[in-house]
Amino acid sequence: MNIRIINRSKNGLPAYETIHSAGMDLRADLESAVLLNPMERKLIPTGLHIELPEGFEAQIRPRSGLAYKHGISIVNSPGTIDADYRGEIKVLLINLSTEPFEINSGDRIAQMIVSKHEKVEWQQVEILNETTRGAGGYGHTGVG
């Protein structure tokens, strides 16, 4: 799939780090380092603008290494970029650790997955088909 992209950053294009990666890494595009204090959130620019085809979205997700090693996550995870959005991709990072975390230009801060989606047309009814699970929700299958 080809997607049109404008790269106004000093970094390369988003890239898959391994042959079977689902997500492409996004990098920070900063004039100077940003300090993210514990429980603080900041919007980090990437310098990227994309033009997704109709019926597709880009999901912005946390990087597992940043989450595990430093407690860095994304507040609205996964963030969604709609096909009609043309603004700069920015990532809303949060520091869930007890230590400050420094973000430098070029750091890999998130991953982006491009995914096809369907449009829903609702069919309002009075009753739904029965299933074995039924209305069983949170914890309905037992502990763990």
* Domain spans of the chain, in order of start: 4-116
Whether pTM > 0.85 for this model: the answer is: yes
For domain 4-116, the CATH class is mainly beta
* Closest CA relative to residue 40, chosen from 89, 91, 93: 93
Divide the 144 residues of the chain into consecutive groups of 10 and give the mean pLDDT of each group. 96 95 97 98 98 97 96 95 98 98 98 96 95 77 64
